[in-house]
Amino acid sequence: MLDTSLVPATAPDLTGVRQYFPSFAQQVNGQPIIYFDNPGGTQVPQQVIEATSEYFLYANANTHGAFSTSQRTDTIIAEARSAMADLLNCDAGEIVFGPNMTTLTFALSRAIARDLQPGDEIVTTTLDHDANIAPWRAIAADKGLTVRQVDIDPTTCTLDMDQMHAAITERTKIVAVGYASNAVGTINDVAQIVRWAHEAGAQAWIDAVQYAPHGPIDVQALDCDYLVCSAYKFFGPHLGILYGKREHLERLRPYKVRPASDEVPERFETGTQTHELLAGLLGTIDYLSLVGNVYANAGPDVASNYSGRRRVLKIAMGAIMAYERTLSQYLLTALSLIPKLTLYGLKSPTQVERRVPTVAVTLPHKTPLQLAQRLAEAGICAWDGNYYALELMERLGLEPNGGALRIGLAHYNTTEEIDRCMQVLSEAARA
């Protein structure tokens, strides 16, 4: 079952957070910009902008020098690690930074592959972004491994869990699965999949890129072996984050240059990191802490298992999840009223606990690109195509036919913005 224990019974109204996002002051064709490409990347709060520029003013240097700016850089990296550890509920030594999720997955999968043998198996899914499929296929090709791909039920775009259970056997070494879909929004029961993986002696690799902006993550409760996410999808700068159980990070043999540290977790961080963005990530955590503190003072205790910043961040993500469910209900209801519109995946406003507020839709006689262009003219940013969820879009017959229009909400969006979007789509449906 999905963990809903952190969600307060009464959803808070988070629309006040928009004041922290200066990019919403932009206008397009005389109208306030509406940002619905959140699965592609979110906007950042002022705290991120300030922390990034302060890095350049007061700390810009390489690491481990004897001088002040270098030492400030070392401190910022250590603080960013412990901030991410608080968000994911792990030790700072289990956090690895990299340019993005894709690069981290290619790098770690290659290190993992060093210890795999021909005939070993990897389980992937049709629902996943290609960044959680292609790296595993690449090591399979290099090492003579077998990849088993778990299918979906195309009517609901949910994973076939019977097939998943059957695919995980004593030959399985890695189960690679997404926490939430970047195309259709489905949340997977990753806790159950981790249990099945461990029962078979396999490890679980969770792609949490699309879940991290929408709900609380606890890697200890999930007991996953690895979990990857991207800060730019949860109101931070363009960088990737990997959680790995310490025992794995110590055992694996990373590809690295000789003079670089062989300590965990630094041994996986090849070359110079984007220090200014790690400073920016601290701004993200400050912002989320602010949301958590505001809500903690106003509402009931929803994260009593945690303390300090971990607790505040859990409260923030619980509040975000609760508010977004109200947005999802509103969006799904509004979309159901547009004639001839097809929505892929979980459709019912009663199913919002099983999805994040990301939907893929099509209309007859209009290509997804044409719909995205109409929205763009109205100041609404939304993406069209396959969003690299290639297997899924092929399975749904949407590729190679232009994919679908994606509308992806975040906690700073409002029902008024949904109304404006629905107006454009209704007009397109009639035209």
Ligand X SMILES: Cc1ncc(COP(=O)(O)O)c(C=O)c1O
Work out the number of other CB atoms within 10 angstroms of the CB of residue 66. 6
E strand residue ranges, 2-141: 27-28, 31-32, 34-35, 95-98, 121-125
Nearer to ligand X, 158 or 182 (CB): 182
CA–CA separation, 169 vs 200, rounded Å? 6
CB of 126 to ligand X, least distance (A): 13
Nearer to ligand X, 12 or 213 (CB): 213
CB of 224 to ligand X, least distance (A): 15
Binding site for ligand X (CB under 6 A): 39, 100-102, 129, 131-132, 178, 182, 207, 209-210, 230, 240
The H or E element spanning position 240 is: strand 240-244
Would you state the structure tokens that stand for residue 407, as one six-digit string? Answer: 């509308």
Would you state the structure tokens that stand for residue 201, as one six-digit string? Answer: 């002696």
Nearest CA to 387 among 37, 112, 62?
37
Nearer to ligand X, 210 or 362 (CB): 210
CB of 355 to ligand X, least distance (A): 14
CB of 40 to ligand X, least distance (A): 6
Nearer to ligand X, 200 or 204 (CB): 204
CB of 399 to ligand X, least distance (A): 16
| Helix, strand, coil share of the chain (percent; to 5) | 45, 15, 40
Nearer to ligand X, 39 or 236 (CB): 39
Nearer to ligand X, 236 or 379 (CB): 236
Would you state the structure tokens that stand for residue 30, as one six-digit string? Answer: 């005389």
CA–CA separation, 431 vs 415, rounded Å? 24
Q: What is the DSSP letter of 172?
A: E
CB of 209 to ligand X, least distance (A): 4
CA–CA separation, 151 vs 300, rounded Å? 40
